[in-house]
Amino acid sequence: MTDAGKPAGPRTSAEAEDPLPPRLAAALAGFERYLRAERSLSPHTVRAYTGDVRSLLEHACRDGLQTPDGLGVAHLRSWLAVLHGSGAARATLARRGAAARTFTTFAHRQGWLATDPGPQLGTLKTRRTLPHILRQDEMESILADLDAAGRRAEQLMGTEPVSGSEASRVQAGARAGVHAGAQAGTLAGAQAGAEAEERTAAAVALRDAAVLELFYATGIRVSELCGLDGGRLDQARRTVRVRGKGDKERTVPVGVPALRAVARWLAAGRPELATRASGPALFLGVRGGRLDPRTARRIVHERLRESGTVRDTGPHGLRHTAATHLLEGGADLRSVQEILGHSSPATTQIYTHVSIDRLKSSYRQAHPRA
């Protein structure tokens, strides 16, 4: 919070709350820089971890802590106990415990702590819920509908756009309503506006089809898709280079239908939305800027709802779906791990549980003595 009368200048997340004692504030700021620069974590993860550690330091400060060298396991345990008492979920407590251990490890390496109290905290085990996925026939139906919409949009984009000079003339005629022929100018302006709206809607349809195809074809994260530049897609090799968590780059195969949808978007849709500010971004918003994760999530939810599927899901659900369908199709776990960009095979292991559950369900339905 800012003091009264002081201008609210730009602040990091470590400075966004009530001030900590100077040495604790400096430690938190250093931790935030470490997460950004050395760990290369996503902005969302950095905000979450620095917010958690700020909460820990504020709790310890109320117990009299003024410098990081006094932080001990008792502070960590009492902080988590307060959070548990306030009704925090197990997943939340597990994440905050992980943030605290990351901070104490960092503080120990910096020489602020003689010993690292983090390992004494232990790890809270959380119950992993099976991901919500779509069936293969549901995905085929959704993507077939989007492909048909993309073809119609591509045909529409083949029409001649209204030229800039013609649009200016129409607008001038509309503004000069007292002149002869003002009504004709107004009608022409309305027609030009309607055509522009149709072309924008067609470009959006091409974009949305390409977005869903690429999500399902590659299983990439929403942040990874939004961060793609056009040069990262190799049409000849049928691959896309993705920059994932920890700033790690990996190459992911892309199927022919997804490549075809992206090619349509690049040829007919993207030029309609592109502006000088678009840069090399592969996917754009309606105003020409790089597509942001919130809009990408909305695209997935809306397109699935329009398809009539009863299973609403988002980009992460499509990631789960792609991984499960790969395993059901015979892909090995290690390959799926590399495609998804998981650092540990244990993270990928959850998808085998989904496939086994489906196998059991099919068995129970099909076997006479199940």
Given 221, 264, 290, 325, which residue is catalytic?
221
Q: 106-137 as b/e, with b when 16 or more CB fall inside 10 Å?
A: bbbeeebbeeebbeebeebeeeeeebebbeee
Distance CA 89, CA 91 (A): 5
Verify whether residue 353 is a known catalytic residue. Answer: no
Given 47, 245, 297, 301, which residue is catalytic?
245
Verify whether residue 320 is a known catalytic residue. Answer: no
Q: Which two tokens stand for residue 307?
A: 């398809």
- For residue 197, which of 275, 272, 270 has the smallest C-alpha distance? 272
Q: CA angle 233-247-349, nearest 5°?
A: 85
Helix (H/G/I), strand (E/B), else coil: 354? helix
Distance CA 7, CA 65 (A): 30
Given 47, 151, 301, 342, which residue is catalytic?
342
Verify whether residue 311 is a known catalytic residue. Answer: no
Verify whether residue 319 is a known catalytic residue. Answer: yes
Given 84, 135, 316, 358, which residue is catalytic?
316
Given 75, 303, 319, 320, which residue is catalytic?
319
Verify whether residue 179 is a known catalytic residue. Answer: no
Verify whether residue 49 is a known catalytic residue. Answer: no
Given 75, 270, 290, 351, which residue is catalytic?
351
Q: How many CB atoms lie within 10 A of CB 343?
A: 11
> Looking at the annotation, which residues are catalytic?
221, 245, 316, 319, 342, 351
